[in-house]
Amino acid sequence: MTIGWHFDNTYSKLSNKFKEEIKPTPVHDPELVIINNELAKSLNLDFSKIDKKKLAEIFSGNSLPEGTNTIAQAYAGHQFGHFTMLGDGRAILLGEHLTNKNNRYDIQFKGSGRTSFSRSGDGRAALGPMLREYIISEAIHSLNIPTTRSLAVVKTGEKVVRENLLQGAILTRVASSHLRVGTFQYIAATQNLDELNTLVDYTINRHYPEIRSSKTKAIDLLNLVMEKQCQLVINWMRVGFIHGVMNTDNMAISGETIDYGPCAFMDEYNPKTVFSSIDKFGRYAFSNQPPITKWNLARFAECLIPLIDKNEDSAIKTASELIDNFQNIFEEKWLNMMRDKLGLFGNDKNDKILIKNLLNWMKNNKADYTNTFCHLMGIETNNEIYKDDNFKNWIDEWEKRSKLNNSSKEEQINLMKKTNPIVIPRNHKVEEALTDADKGSLKKINELLKVLCNPYFDQENIREFQQPAQGINKKYQTFCGT
Ligand code: AMP
Ligand code: MG
């Protein structure tokens, strides 16, 4: 009865600067809530022959798999612009699991007890936010966007104290690594060049082996991370995802979406959309995500300065030029992504205006971001606003531009169908499912997950999952996932 774990832990072999060796705090009465068998299979793990009680022991950390070497990772971060020393305050890395193809994945518990980085926190997590991370990260994965994933959630059988008493839970998170911009900030802050070099080499070995023997590793790494992050934020903009807390500690060097706290998907198109209750000034609003990505990359670049050039002025000049180019790279990629959303091949000098006109119309008419593109693909969403004359005029312009494509309507629709999701995790649907889960019923979560795992396909009976929130539910607010 083997599960198939194959731990090979490289991060825990780094010096103690990088981590604290610590075990998860055992929990009182663990109970399995959900397990992701499809993800397990892709990791060459098989839990099908393990009974639920044993699974609860495993995913609560009460019984650690062989080969693990549990640590809490050190990192720092700019939180809403302010630099702080952080670290895994409620997460513990079990180790790195290797798949049959030698792909390496971090297996991490979130909510597994206090560590030396916990500050005033209890090291625990509540069931709602952990299931929310499970749903949204799996949805993001199915939308073909790089992300950490969720393998299991257990209830701990203990209460956590937040505004109310809540059920405690632990999420098992799978990531290609947990290296963050904040990891570099932590090491850079100690001004130990050897350790900074170690971190750069470690990162390159793990994520960017193609520059292993480069003579300009630091600048190459910066370039590659910039490319990955740019692509990631474009993907978020494509599907209307708002991360909500793009602090530098929540920005993965691998380019995966990480740390699902107050994130949510936008319904009505408004570039200023913010869901997080603590984001009072809209720092992480929908349209601010690209400039914040650039800001975070600048913080990453600062860490690398001593390795870019021995002459600090030259290093700063090189790094600044690179970061300053982010806007140009982003603009071009964004334009191409929007062309895909509209099924436009090639390019035309008026494309930007055409796209901006649609976005302006959507904003002025409070049109649903996802459903507007569905409407353009001929998927009915029963909305009267598309009868608006201004919208019809825009359609005429779009059709004129489409004819420049030299391609068929079918090709156009195929491109759009690959780019525009039909279903996203609608906030009210997620909340409904979480409310039921808190009472012990997983029926709605399972229904939701089933629909969300095929977001580009017009499935039967999904109309209720396509509708944006109505009435009071429209004023959606999220809270940090603590
Ligand atoms: P997050 O907002 O989840 O990105 O977390 C920011 C920082 O706060 C990280 O260092 C977390 O480990 C820490 N943290 C969040 N919640 C808790 C908690 N309940 N107990 C201890 N540390 C926490
Ligand atoms: Mg975080």
Q: What's the predicted TM-score (pTM) here? A: 0.97
Structure tokens given for 59: 């995913």
- Domain shared by 245 and 260, yes or no: yes
- Domain shared by 312 and 186, yes or no: yes
Residue-range definition of the domain harbouring residue 300: 181-334
- Domain shared by 158 and 221, yes or no: no
- Domain shared by 162 and 203, yes or no: no
Q: Report if residue 218 sits inside a domain.
A: yes
Last residue of a domain, one of 334, 369, 400: 334
Q: What burial letters (b/e) apply to 133-145, b meaning 16+ CB within 10 Å? A: bbbbbbbbbbbeb
What local confidence, expressed as pLDDT, does residue 407 receive?
79
Task: Give every residue of the chain whose pLDDT is below 70, as ranges.
Answer: 1, 472-473, 480-482
What local confidence, expressed as pLDDT, does residue 99 receive?
98
What local confidence, expressed as pLDDT, does residue 471 receive?
76
Residue nearest to atom 14 of ligand 1 (CA): 89
What local confidence, expressed as pLDDT, does residue 381 receive?
79
Q: Report if residue 95 sits inside a domain.
A: yes
What local confidence, expressed as pLDDT, does residue 1 receive?
63
- Domain shared by 197 and 297, yes or no: yes
Residue type, 325: N
- Domain shared by 197 and 323, yes or no: yes
Ligand 1 centroid to 24 CA: how many Å? 15
pLDDT single digits (tens) 445-454: 999 999 999 9
> Closest Cα to residue 437, out of 167, 39, 173, 174?
167
- Domain shared by 25 and 159, yes or no: yes
φ, ψ at 172 (rounded to 5°): -100, 115
Last residue of a domain, one of 312, 334, 356: 334
pLDDT single digits (tens) 56-68: 999 999 999 999 9
Q: Is 295 helix (H, G, I), strand (E, B) or coil?
A: helix
What local confidence, expressed as pLDDT, does residue 382 receive?
75
Nearest ligand to the CA atom of 278? 1
What local confidence, expressed as pLDDT, does residue 482 receive?
54
Catalytic residues: 249
Pick from 86, 112, 114 the residue to mutate for probing ligand 1's pocket: most ligand atoms within 8 Å of its CB.
86
- Domain shared by 169 and 226, yes or no: no
> Closest Cα to residue 355, out of 263, 246, 269?
269
> Closest Cα to residue 26, out of 92, 82, 116?
92
Count of domains observed in the chain: 2
> Closest Cα to residue 211, out of 197, 198, 224?
224
- Domain shared by 53 and 168, yes or no: yes
Last residue of a domain, one of 301, 318, 334: 334
Ligand 1 centroid to 10 CA: how many Å? 24
Q: Is 312 helix (H, G, I), strand (E, B) or coil?
A: helix
- Domain shared by 151 and 194, yes or no: no
- Domain shared by 203 and 304, yes or no: yes
Ligand 2 centroid to 245 CA: how many Å? 8
- Domain shared by 161 and 18, yes or no: yes
What local confidence, expressed as pLDDT, does residue 481 receive?
56
